[in-house]
Structure 1
Amino acid sequence: MSFAAYMEDSIAVLRRTLETVDAAAMEAAIDRTAQALGANRALLVCGNGGSASDAMHITGELVGRFLKERRGLKAICLSSNPAVITAWGNDYSYDTIFSRQVEAFGEAGGVMLGLSTSGNSPNVVAAFEQARAMGMTTVALTGEGGGKLASLSDVLLAVPSRRTPLIQQAHICLYHYLCERVEARLAEAG
């Protein structure tokens, strides 16, 4: 595939994302995340592989800053502690590395944000199940259809593609927009 063809495919996925991701769903994700963080409730974020890197990116923007000077926000990346992940995965199950951390850090009124291009990552699915049991809002960034996370999500933001790199590129646009709007909302509130 040529560079031009790859870029055209990327643009096409972004265009389809604009056309198919419901603006009301994005607003719901922004509202619930801003409400939780504004009330000092946790935003927990997780994913595997490239989505783990995205989870770290999101929490970095919110703990640090995105565009505005403000207080640090209670955003925790569940993919970033190798001691917890490897100890729990080795002694118990890799499928529960995130749900165990949701049990430890989650709280009613908080938000669980999971990234999975297939929507079927067992450990992200388990985290959503734990989060829902604890009264947290669940927000998923997935690929086409949402997979198993679709039925476990209060808010589903599904990119209309089955190609992992293109889905992840669109996820960056979606979560950058989420971070910008959440930060602006909280800055307005003082």
Structure 2
Amino acid sequence: MDYNIFFENALEGATTAYRESLESCGRKLIELSQWVCRAFENNGKLILFGNGGSAADAQHIAAEFVNRFRLDRKPLPAIALTTDTSILTAISNDYHFDQVFSKQVQALAGPMDVVLGISTSGNSPNVLKALSVAREIGARTVGITGGSGGKMDRCSDLVICVASSDTPRIQEVHIFFGHLLCDLVEQQVFSPV
């Protein structure tokens, strides 16, 4: 194996995914950042969830909002529904894994909130169900996905779809988009021009 070619191909694939996704989703990221700013201004919050790597992304993004991203500033209200093992296992055991996020959304979300589900395929039943419940509550719903977008458009007010069908590239762009969202919100809330 020629490792230089391997690394070069990986870098080229990632660069292409980033560039094409930003070109196709940049305006949607700006719109999402405006929704999140409006939520924060109106005592709302950002609620995030996903499975596996997407769960880690949800936690990572929530941490950036609650703690800090680039600026030393006051904490911003963001919650990842993927962190409480007692809640996750109770719902999964007593009901079904498909309800693991939707029951939390019922308990925690309100009409001033932005509810963001992350799914690489766009077809995760528990993510789709939670977005549907959030929409019924009146929250703004956002699906971040990849490939064809799956079924996200059925339950999301805004779908941000990575321009790739390669799972690792999709996941890499998801956290890139999460960082861009944090940066955009910080600039709008704390450094308005």
| Class of the TM-score when normalised by the shorter of the 2 chains | over 0.9
How do 1:171-182 residues align onto structure 2 when only pairs under 5 Å count? 171-182=174-185
- Aligned-partner residue type, residue 18 of structure 2: L
Q: Give the letter for the 1:61 counterpart.
A: E
Contact 2:30/2:184 (<8 A) preserved: no
1:151: Cα distance to partner?
2.4
**Structure 2: 5+ residue stretches without partners:** none
Contact 2:123 2:152 in 1 (8 A): yes
1:6 to 3, 7, 10: 10
The answer on whether the counterparts of 1:98 and 1:124 sit within 8 Å (CA) in structure 2 is yes
Deviates more, 1:5-14 or 1:56-65: 5-14
- Structure number with greater Rg is 2
Aligned residue pairs, count: 188
Match of 1:136 in 2: 139
| Aligned residue number for residue 164 of structure 2 | 161
Per-residue Cα deviation, 1:98-151 (whole angstroms, up to 9, x for no partner): 000001110011000111010000000011001000000011110022111122
2:98 matched residue in structure 1: 95
Q: Output aligned runs, 1:2-151, within 5 Å.
A: 2-21=6-25, 23-151=26-154
Q: What runs of 5+ residues in structure 1 fail to find an aligned partner? A: none
Counterpart CA distance in 2 for 1:159 and 1:85 is 28
Normalising by structure 2, what TM-score? Answer: 0.93
| Contact map agreement 1:141 1:157 (CA 8 A) in 2 | yes
Matched residues, percent identical? 40
Instruction: Kindly provide the amino acid, as one letter, of the partner of residue 119 in structure 1.
Output: G
CA distance in 1, matches of 2:187, 2:15: 27
TM-score (norm 1): 0.94
Alpha-carbon offset, residue 57 of structure 1: 0.3
Q: Which amino acid aligns with 1:104?
A: A
* Residue type of the alignment partner of 2:80: C
Distance 2:141 2:172 in 1: 21
Equivalent residue of 1:76, what SS? strand
User: Aligned partner of 2:170: which letter?
Assistant: I
